[in-house]
């Protein structure tokens, strides 16, 4: 399973990248706003740090302008994936940009039918939003499962990029279902290392190290 980091914060990406845990990065307008940076400048910096796909989202809602924005975004670096919303115009832009040979991430996916039509339009990645479905008492993980089944039924190459991940359990369940990629905030990725029994066991070992004055260096 590939790990994408869902942030535009350079330091957070660098910390995970140094551990070899960054297979790509996703950004969106809200994350760019949070970074306080210019979209082109910060995206360029991220693309230079990581070798995998870096999703940068268009701002327009009509296909023609989305395509023009996408063509500008792909000039930033070879590893740009143009992110377009799952609207009819977004699908038109997806088809044109993917036919041009660019990676396209179709975002704001909330149904299996949306994922099906995005695959038909040539999406490189489909981004189903798990957390936002859970927020309204729907089952985000059921959506991942349905998309996996549909893509496998017909051999679609579009990769399932499980997004809007809020917890370590979302990552675990996505991995069990077979999502190709997860994108998660740095803190959620780091939380995968946590277990209370690890903390408890280490505390005992530290007590014994002190009591027995165990030294290695
Ligand atoms: C990633 O591509 C999405 O934009 C992101 O995961 C959305 O997450 P949120 O629902 O927590 O804002």
User: Tell me, what CATH number does 90's domain have?
Assistant: 3.20.20.70
Please tell me whether the overall predicted TM-score, pTM, comes out greater than 0.75 for this model: yes
Q: What is the pLDDT of residues 99-114, one digit of tens each?
A: 999 999 999 999 999 9
Q: How far does the centroid of ligand 1 lie from the alpha carbon of residue 78, in Å?
A: 23
Check: CB of residue 170 under 8 Å from CB of residue 131.
Answer: yes
> Residue 117: inside a domain, yes or no?
yes
Rounded CA separation 39/212 (Å): 55
At residue 162's C-alpha, the angle toward residues 61 and 123, to 5°, is: 50
User: Is there a catalytic annotation at residue 83?
Assistant: yes
Instruction: Name the pLDDT band for 175 (thresholds 50, 70, 90).
Output: very high
- Pairwise CA distance, residues 158 & 147, whole Å: 10
Task: Let me know if residue 212 belongs to a domain.
Answer: no
- State how many domains the chain has: 1
In a mutational test of the pocket of ligand 1, which residue from 33, 103, 163 has the highest number of ligand atoms less than 8 Å from its CB? Answer: 163
Its domain, for residue 85, covers: 2-192
Q: Is residue 199 part of a domain?
A: no
CA 52 to ligand 1 centroid distance, Å: 18
């Amino acid at each position: 399973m590939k790990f994408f980091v869902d942030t535009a914060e350079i330091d957070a990406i660098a910390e995970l990248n140094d551990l070899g845990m960054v297979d790509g990065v996703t950004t969106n307008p809200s994350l760019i706003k949070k970074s306080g940076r210019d979209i082109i400048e910060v995206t360029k910096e991220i693309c230079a740090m990581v070798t995998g796909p870096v999703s940068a989202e268009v701002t327009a809602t009509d296909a023609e302008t989305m395509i023009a924005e996408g063509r500008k975004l792909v000039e930033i670096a070879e590893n740009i994936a143009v992110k377009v919303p799952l609207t009819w115009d977004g699908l038109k832009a997806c088809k044109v940009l993917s036919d041009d040979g660019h990676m396209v991430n179709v975002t704001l996916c909330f149904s299996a039918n949306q994922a099906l039509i995005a695959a038909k339009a040539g999406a490189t990645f489909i981004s189903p939003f798990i957390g936002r479905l859970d927020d309204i008492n729907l089952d985000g993980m059921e959506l991942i499962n349905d998309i996996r089944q549909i893509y496998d039924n017909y051999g679609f190459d579009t990769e399932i990029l499980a997004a809007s991940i809020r917890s370590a359990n979302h990552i675990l369940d996505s991995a069990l279902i077979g999502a190709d990629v997860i994108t998660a905030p740095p803190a959620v990725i780091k939380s995968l290392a946590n277990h209370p029994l690890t903390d408890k066991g280490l505390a005992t070992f530290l007590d014994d190290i002190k009591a027995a004055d165990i030294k290695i260096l």
